[in-house]
Amino acid sequence: MLTNFQKTKILSIFTAIVMLIANYMIFFYLPQMRGGAGELLGSSFKIFYFHLPIAITSYLAFFVVFVASILYLKKGTHNWDVLARSSAEIGLIFAALVLVTGSIWGHATWGVYWTWNDIRLVTSLVLFLVYIAYLMMRQAIEEPEKRARLSAVFGIVGFASVPLSFLSIRIWQSYAHPLMFGQGVQESGGGLEGTSLKLTLIVNFIAYFLLYATILAYKVQNENIQEEISAKKQSLE
């Protein structure tokens, strides 16, 4: 039987390979993109293949936080808290990357880094802020049991507010939204119709899910080791 350490090692090697393939496909396998009028789209569009998988992965990470928080409150098992904490940290990194890649792409296609007119931009920012608050809260509490319990409550409340923010931001600027984002993705004639494009996107999705899983596995392992050490330290004192 393999130990946990060997399993994560195999997972990380596998992730690295898929990641390399995914990047190779983006830069060498993809054909030139053409816009609706047949004009060549710049290579800036390629960032889409990072951007979308990262965004979906960050949602997944926060959903894991939500589920782990509920299970922690229900079962009281320590492992769920470790999972929630680890997933929140990784999700926050992915959410930050979403904002960064989105801004870069926005600058290339719309000419501005940030606009308050796009619902998805503002929602991602709100999501990012909610989980920054989550991690700040974890830092503010010393006692492990209390920290786990209180942050589980906030993990549930925070996640529930996100779909509502999406709706409310839509009300806020329903008139300005439509054109902005669509142009690069769905509406620019042939957008994502080719097989090679879809394949690249799928491979990238798999690559980023695997990346998330690998980091999560390492993070959970680290947290467990850390706790083992502090427990041993305490028994020595």
Partner 1 sequence: MIRSLHIAAKDLKAEFRTKQMLNSMVIFSLLVIVIFSISFGDLLGDSKIVSQLAPGVLWISFTFAGMLGLSRSFASELENGCLEGLKLCPVDRSAIYNGKIISNAVIMFLVEIITVPLFVVLFNFNITGLFELAIVILLGTIGFISVGTLLSALTVNTRTRELLLPVLLLPVIIPVIIPAVVATGKILTNGDISDISGELRLLLVYDVIFFVIAQLVFEYAIGD
Residues that bind partner 1 (CB under 8 A): 73, 126, 129-130, 133, 136-137, 140-142, 146, 149-150, 152-154, 156-158, 160-161, 164-165, 167-169, 171-172
Element at 99 (helix H, strand E): helix 78-109
Q: Which is nearer to partner 1, 7 or 170 (CB)?
A: 170
CA distance linking residue 153 with residue 64, whole number of Å: 14
Q: Which is nearer to partner 1, 139 or 195 (CB)?
A: 139
Cα torsion for 173, 179, 184, 189, to the nearest 10°?
Answer: 150
Structure tokens at 93: 């990194």
Least distance to partner 1, CB of residue 61, Å: 17
Least distance to partner 1, CB of residue 93, Å: 18
Least distance to partner 1, CB of residue 166, Å: 8
Residue 136: count of CB within 10 angstroms of its CB: 9
Q: Which is nearer to partner 1, 119 or 213 (CB)?
A: 119
Q: Which is nearer to partner 1, 137 or 206 (CB)?
A: 137
Q: Which is nearer to partner 1, 160 or 176 (CB)?
A: 160
CA distance linking residue 104 with residue 182, whole number of Å: 16
CA distance linking residue 138 with residue 152, whole number of Å: 10
Residue 201: count of CB within 10 angstroms of its CB: 19
Least distance to partner 1, CB of residue 28, Å: 41
Least distance to partner 1, CB of residue 92, Å: 13
Residues whose CB is less than 8 angstroms from the CB of residue 109 and which lie 6 or more positions away in sequence, other chains included: 44, 45, 183, 184
Among residues 215, 226, 9, which one has the least CA distance to residue 93? Answer: 215
Q: Which is nearer to partner 1, 13 or 140 (CB)?
A: 140
CA distance linking residue 195 with residue 85, whole number of Å: 38
Least distance to partner 1, CB of residue 119, Å: 11
Distances (CA, A) of 2 to 12, 115, 218: 15, 50, 16
